[in-house]
Amino acid sequence: MEKDNANPTILNTSQLPTRQRKKGRRVQRNAESKISSIIPRPQYLSDVFNDVSGSDETESDGEFTAEPIDEQEVYDLISTISDPEHPLSLGQLAVVNLPDIDITPSPSVVADPNTLTRVLVKITPTITHCSLATVIGLGIRVRLEQALPPNYRVDVVIKEGTHSQDDQVNKQLADKERVAAALENDTLRGVLDKMLETCV
C-alpha cells in the first residue's frame, strides 16, 4: 500500500510540549512505608513522635491530591499514539498539537469532580486528502475514552481547512452509532490496537 504522505514534517521528541512531574517526595514516602513494614516502629517512641509523623504524612498526602485534568495531560495521553502509516507518533507528525486541545469548563474553574466536562481535540492531518483521518480521529477518541473519567465527553474533529473532506470526516467521528459499529470491525480494531501499543 502506498502512503498518502511519504515525506511528512517530523518534530523531534525534544520539541514536543511536556510536563515534568515531581516524584521525589512520593517516592521517599513509599520507601519509608516499605521500610516500616519490614522494620516495625519501636514501641518506646512516644505518641508525640507518632503524631508528628502522622501530620507530616497528611501534609505530604495533601501535596499529591488529585489535580484537575488539563490540556497538557490530554496531549500527553494522545501524542504518543502511533500514526497508522508512519512509524512515528501523532505528536511527532504534529497531527495533534497542544493549542488545539480545549477543555470546557476550564480545569481551573471546575471544583466538583462530577461536573460534565467536554474535551475537544482538533487534529491536523499531514496532508489535505489523508484517507486515514477518520481512523486517526477514532484512535484518539478510543484512547481518551479509556483514560479519562466517565464525566468527560470527548469530541474529535478535523481542524478547519486542513482536510478536503473535513465535514464528512467530522460527521463520521461525531456519530456514536458509526463509532460503535467501527469498533466492532475486527480489522479496524486491529489497526487501532497497533496505534495504541505505544501509549503508556
Q: How high is the pLDDT of residue 110?
A: 65
Place of cell 473535513: 166
One domain, residues 98 and 176: yes
Chain CA centroid to CA 115, Å? 19
- Of 55, 74, 88, nearest to 140 by C-alpha is 74
Would you say residue 2 lies in a domain? no
Average pLDDT, the chain: 79
One domain, residues 50 and 99: no
The mean per-residue pLDDT over the stretch 73-91 comes to 94
> Length of the chain, please?
200
Tell me the CA distances in angstroms from 166 to 6, 10, 104, 180, 182, one per residue in order: 21, 23, 23, 20, 19
Query: Does 111 have pLDDT greater than 60?
Result: yes
Query: Does 79 have pLDDT greater than 60?
Result: yes
Q: What is the pLDDT of residues 37-74, one digit of tens each?
A: 455 544 444 444 444 444 444 444 445 556 789 999 99
The mean per-residue pLDDT over the stretch 23-28 comes to 40
Cell of 194: 497497533
One domain, residues 39 and 132: no
One domain, residues 140 and 47: no
Q: Using CB atoms within 10 A of its CB, is residue 165 exposed (0-12), middle (13-18) or buried (19+)?
A: middle
Domain count, the chain: 2
One domain, residues 156 and 183: yes
Q: What is the pTM of this model?
A: 0.69
What is the distance between the alpha carbons of residues 141 and 137, in angstroms, rounded to a whole number? 6
- Of 39, 143, 152, 136, nearest to 95 by C-alpha is 136
Q: What is the pLDDT of residues 152-162, one digit of tens each?
A: 999 999 999 99
Domain that holds residue 99: 68-196
Would you say residue 14 lies in a domain? no
What is the distance between the alpha carbons of residues 84 and 59, in angstroms, rounded to a whole number? 46
